[in-house]
Amino acid sequence: MVRRKERETGACPRCNESKSNIHIVMCKGPGTEATFLAAMETVQDWLDQGPSQFALAIIELIHSHRNQVQPRWHLIDSHETQQIVQ
């Protein structure tokens, strides 16, 4: 947004932290949890059209990244899917 001159600073408009682009997914500023969960419903709808184990793995990886914790690999019970996403 700064590069395109749409904003004057690189600070996050929700929490005012100046972070990298990946901060968009990780931001815990006001209103971000509801926005994140609504977006995840869209992701879930899209993933429901594919293999269920693969969808579960992607959802788990997004949540683990947002919360900066290790993925709960035991929830992904397909060994083949674990190898693809690791």
Nearest approach, Cβ of 70 to Zn ion (angstroms)? 23
63 binds Zn ion (CB under 5 A): no
Which position among 5, 8, 10, 14 is part of the footprint of Zn ion (CB under 5 A)? 14
Q: Which of 37, 79, 32 is nearest to 62 (CA)?
A: 37
Which position among 1, 7, 11, 12 is part of the footprint of Zn ion (CB under 5 A)? 12
Stretch that binds Zn ion, among 12-20, 35-43, 48-56, 67-75 (CB under 5 A): 12-20
Q: How many residues bind Zn ion (CB under 5 A)?
A: 5
For residues 23 and 9, what is the distance between their CA atoms, to the nearest angstrom?
15
For residues 19 and 30, what is the distance between their CA atoms, to the nearest angstrom?
16
| Strand partners for 11 | 18
Which position among 27, 57, 58, 76 is part of the footprint of Zn ion (CB under 5 A)? 27
Q: Is 84 left (phi over 0), alpha (psi -120 to 50) or beta?
A: alpha
- Where does this chain bind Zn ion (CB under 5 A)? 12, 14-15, 27, 29
